[in-house]
Amino acid sequence: MPPRVTVLQLDTDFPRIAGDVGAPESYARPPQIIRIAGASVGRIVTDRPADIDIAPFEDALARATGDIIVTSCGFLSYWQADLAACTDRPFISSALTALDGLHHSVPPAQMCILTFDATRLGAAHLGRHSAYTSSIIGLPQAHHLRRVIEGNLHKLDKQTATREITALMADTVTPAHRQILLECTNLPPYRAAIKAATGLPVTDILTRIEATCPGSIAPRFRGPQVS
């Protein structure tokens, strides 16, 4: 039987389409979704991550039954060590944890980190990899996906989101870039399109889960780049 994933999910209602960390279709086995009451996007996506009330996430860890536990927002990377210490199972707060391995071969000038909000993701979230702040770009406020997430809207047009995201990445990536890292856990549905538009390997929360606990992710979302 495939490993089971527990997702500590923010308190949101926007669509979780296949490939999203919170979509059951993203996994080889139905995940356990634990919704964290009160953990809105506005409270978690902040440039002051030390101020986040982490107690509800600690409580949820005690109820987690999965073989691996993850969160639905990469901005929780600041709390990786603290939350990991609350469980004896693998814990991934963010795709940003991939920098622990990637920094050996991909320096900041060759990395592109795509985040939900570049004005709020900073050195505090990157920890010892703070040099990668120069690699961060964000979704423009006018982008469809950002408006859906920020407004907690109930409709998502995947075609529009794909078109805007791939155009952004195609315009951003230069010949110097060698790797793309998707901080936002709502971006993996667009990984294949981003890779096709840029020709670069793409790491995200799903590749991190699969690398840590093989067999967890649905085959079509594992991707050739597992890191």
- CATH of residue 20: 3.40.50
- Considering the domain architecture, whether residues 129 and 197 belong to the same structural domain is answered as yes
What is the predicted pLDDT for the residue at 225? 42
User: Tens of pLDDT along 68-108?
Assistant: 999 999 999 999 999 999 999 999 999 999 999 999 999 99
Is there a domain that residue 55 lies in?
A: yes
**pLDDT band at 224, cuts 50/70/90?**
low
Segments forming the whole domain that contains residue 199: 96-204
Q: Is the pTM of this model over 0.85?
A: yes
Chain centroid to CA 22: 11
Distance CA 12, CA 76 (A): 16
Q: Which DSSP category does 31 fall into? A: P
What is the predicted pLDDT for the residue at 23? 98
* Burial class of residue 145 (count of CB atoms within 10 Å of its CB; 0-12, 13-18, 19+): buried
Q: Which DSSP category does 27 fall into? A: B
Q: What CATH number does residue 194 fall under?
A: 3.40.50.1860
Is there a domain that residue 156 lies in?
A: yes
Mean pLDDT along residues 204-211: 97
What is the predicted pLDDT for the residue at 226? 38
Distance CA 93, CA 107 (A): 22
- Considering the domain architecture, whether residues 84 and 117 belong to the same structural domain is answered as no
Answer positive or negative: Cα dihedral of 25, 26, 27, 33: negative
Chain centroid to CA 124: 16
Distance CA 135, CA 142 (A): 21
User: Tens of pLDDT along 125-158?
Assistant: 999 999 999 999 999 999 999 999 999 999 999 9
**Inter-helix orientation angle 144-151/158-172, to 10°:** 120
User: Tens of pLDDT along 161-179?
Assistant: 999 999 999 999 999 999 9
Over pLDDT 70: what percentage of the chain?
A: 98
Average pLDDT, the chain: 96
Write out the two tokens for 200: 């670069």
- Whether 36 contacts 69, CB under 8 Å: no
What is the predicted pLDDT for the residue at 227? 40
Tally the domains of the chain: 2
Is there a domain that residue 222 lies in?
A: no
User: Tens of pLDDT along 172-199?
Assistant: 999 999 999 999 999 999 999 999 999 9
